[in-house]
Amino acid sequence: MISITAYMNVKPGYREEFLEKVQQVIEHTREEEGNVSYRLYEETGNSNQFVMLEQWKDQHAIDVHNQSDHFQNFFAAAKKILAEPLTLKRFINDDD
């Protein structure tokens, strides 16, 4: 299994637009065959800082997700909504 942690810093004034767009990608991603878990969390005390915790069966599932329309649409919108590029951390658990 592969886990990805994505940190997102939303520009002031874009919180509601971010939440609308990210909700769409969450709903569609959770339906993907290779997705194990896809959850968004907000940092306590900072309403514009978010972290997405993702779990995937394998790299192929991630590749399919990254090419999906819903992810591509979110990624395009994120360029306007986020204060800085996504910060990603990737973890591989070979025991699964």
pLDDT tens for each residue of 5-33? 999 999 999 999 999 999 999 999 999 99
Handedness of CA 86, 14, 66, 25 (dihedral sign): positive
**For the whole model, what pTM was predicted?**
0.89
Q: How many C-beta atoms lie closer than 10 Å to residue 31's C-beta? A: 9
Residue boundaries of the structural domains of the chain: 2-92
The hierarchical CATH code for the domain 2-92 is 3.30.70.100
How many CB atoms are closer than 10 A to CB 57?
15
What is the chain's Cα-based Rg?
13
What are 46's two structure tokens? 């900072």
Sheet holding 2-9, edge to edge: 35-42, 49-56, 2-9, 87-92
Q: Does 3 score more than 60 pLDDT?
A: yes
